């Protein structure tokens, strides 16, 4: 039991500890107390497979036994030589060197439209051309490949594919596809070009993300002849082969693209929108706010995050320039591509008053993920697996002022 005299002393001490300005005629008013209130903002899970969300539906997708993704594409075309030669005033019944230009063909391959900057390389991209020749005479092919995409200003950007000169065997521009003898009259089928990163810059070409790839094919009949020379048959009349041009002759082309998704990423900036934002506190009453970013990384490589606050119209309100480290680039000798447990990382940053004001009008938080497989040489490629994910959770910790 507390004695009355002791209780009196405690009350007197409490009163004397208060500032006299905090007393009013209604009674005793305690001083302000500062406290922390935590509340969720939102969360999102990013799958690395989303890099391919804009892939052309004509591309076939295959998943191997180890979970690795591959893309393939096959385009077949038939070119009528008689029709093309008539349009270009070419007489293929004359055994001289003559050239025919074929219509430009194209296909869409918008694989990586979702990143804002940076680059990537595919480890083993390959493009194969097969041709069947019914012309029944020596033939060479000229090939020009380029890509196009819209740049950040909406202008059309042309991207050349460089095929190394040593790859061609005639004048550095033509590839002979059928070395017919004078007695050969059957159609000839051969795979005449395989493009990869050993004989072209095909991997770097794809890394520049062309949205459409164009192929311009040209043909030269009797390419071994000099301009103006005529092919003479020196056989006896009864053994001269039938060299008359077949009016129904055609060239059949096949273009096959194979893209195993084993990637090297270098500062690849990928935007992810967090639209489901919930803030159960009146931000206008806050003295300060601490933003808490928790990441659960199931990627086998490093990443950093940047945040942008956008209004209902998608206009930028506020940017957090600070990069939040998700995972350092792994050591070259300690890389594993089977991520069994997420790496958890927590970052916290105090928002300025400008940031708090912007958050109250924010409808979308744009998370910009910058991805790197590793730094240094040699380049490390990681297979693209469906299990690679990165989960981001955002919450706020507010310092509230209240009175009792």
CATH label of the domain that carries residue 390: 2.60.120
286 shares its domain with 379: yes
123 shares its domain with 230: yes
83 shares its domain with 220: yes
| Token pair in block for residue 311 | 């209004």
343 shares its domain with 217: no
286 shares its domain with 238: no
134 shares its domain with 203: yes
Per DSSP, the residues of 77-118 read EEEEHHHHHHHTT--TTS-B-EEEEPPPEEEE-----S-SEE
- pLDDT digits over 296-322, tens only? 988 888 888 999 999 888 899 999 877
Is 268 in contact with 119 (CB distance < 8 Å)?
yes
Percent of the chain's residues with pLDDT above 90: 5
What residues does 100 pair with on adjacent strands?
219
109 shares its domain with 131: yes
255 shares its domain with 314: no
Is 93 in contact with 221 (CB distance < 8 Å)?
no
In this structure, is residue 381 part of a structural domain?
Answer: yes
pTM (two decimals): 0.69
Q: What is the pLDDT of residue 59?
A: 67
**Dihedral through CA 302, CA 308, CA 313, CA 315, nearest 10?**
-120
Structure confidence at residue 103 as a pLDDT band (50, 70, 90): confident
Out of 206, 236, 260, a domain closes at 260
Of 316 and 241, the one with more pLDDT: 316
Give the integer Cα–Cα distance in Å for 298 and 231. Answer: 66
Q: What is the pLDDT of residue 146?
A: 92
Is 271 in contact with 392 (CB distance < 8 Å)?
no
283 shares its domain with 166: no
Structure confidence at residue 16 as a pLDDT band (50, 70, 90): very low
Domain of residue 389 covers 34-49+263-402
Q: What is the pLDDT of residue 169?
A: 76
Is 131 in contact with 199 (CB distance < 8 Å)?
no
Q: What is the pLDDT of residue 392?
A: 92
Number of domains forming the structure of the chain: 2
172 shares its domain with 293: no
170 shares its domain with 84: yes
What residues does 61 pair with on adjacent strands?
71
Give the integer Cα–Cα distance in Å for 305 and 323. Answer: 5
208 shares its domain with 79: yes
- pLDDT digits over 352-384, tens only? 888 888 888 888 899 988 888 876 667 788 888
Site of tokens 């819209």? 150
- pLDDT digits over 257-306, tens only? 888 888 888 888 888 888 787 777 677 667 778 888 999 988 888 888 99
Q: What is the pLDDT of residue 33?
A: 43
């Amino acid at each position: 039991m507390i004695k009355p005299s002791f209780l009196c002393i405690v009350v007197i001490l409490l009163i004397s500890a208060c500032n006299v300005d905090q007393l009013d005629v209604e009674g005793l008013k305690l001083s302000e107390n500062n406290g922390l209130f935590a509340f969720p903002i939102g969360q999102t899970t990013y799958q690395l497979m989303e890099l391919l969300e804009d892939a052309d539906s004509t591309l076939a997708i295959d998943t191997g036994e180890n979970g690795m993704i591959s893309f393939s594409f096959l385009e077949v075309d038939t070119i009528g030589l008689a029709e093309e030669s008539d349009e270009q005033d070419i007489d293929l019944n004359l055994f001289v060197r003559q050239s025919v230009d074929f219509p430009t063909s194209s296909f869409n391959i918008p694989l990586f439209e979702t990143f804002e900057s940076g680059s990537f390389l595919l480890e083993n991209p390959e493009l194969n051309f097969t041709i069947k020749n019914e012309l029944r005479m020596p033939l060479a092919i000229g090939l020009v490949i380029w890509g196009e995409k819209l740049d950040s200003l909406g202008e059309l950007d042309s991207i050349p594919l460089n095929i190394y000169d040593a790859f061609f065997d005639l004048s550095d521009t033509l590839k002979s596809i059928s070395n017919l003898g004078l007695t050969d009259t059957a159609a000839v089928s051969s795979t005449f070009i395989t493009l990869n990163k050993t004989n072209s810059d095909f991997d770097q070409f794809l890394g520049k993300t062309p949205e459409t790839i164009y192929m311009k094919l040209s043909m030269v009949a009797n390419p071994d002849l000099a301009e103006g020379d005529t092919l003479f048959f020196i056989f006896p009349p009864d053994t001269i082969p039938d060299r008359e041009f077949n009016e129904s002759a055609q060239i059949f082309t096949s273009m096959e693209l194979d893209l195993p998704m084993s990637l090297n990423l270098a500062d690849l900036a990928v935007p992810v929108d967090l639209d489901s934002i919930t803030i159960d506190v009146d931000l206008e009453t806050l003295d300060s706010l601490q933003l808490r970013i928790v990441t659960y990384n199931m990627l086998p490589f490093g990443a950093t995050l940047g945040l942008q606050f956008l209004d209902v119209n998608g206009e930028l309100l506020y940017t957090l320039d600070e990069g939040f480290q998700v995972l350092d680039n792994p050591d070259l000798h300690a890389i594993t591509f089977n991520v069994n447990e997420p790496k958890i990382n927590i970052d916290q940053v105090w928002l300025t008053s400008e940031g708090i004001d912007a958050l109250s009008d924010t409808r979308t938080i744009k998370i910009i993920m910058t991805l790197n497989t590793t730094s240094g040489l040699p380049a490390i490629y990681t297979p693209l697996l469906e299990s690679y994910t990165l989960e981001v959770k955002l919450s706020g910790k507010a310092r509230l002022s209240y009175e009792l």
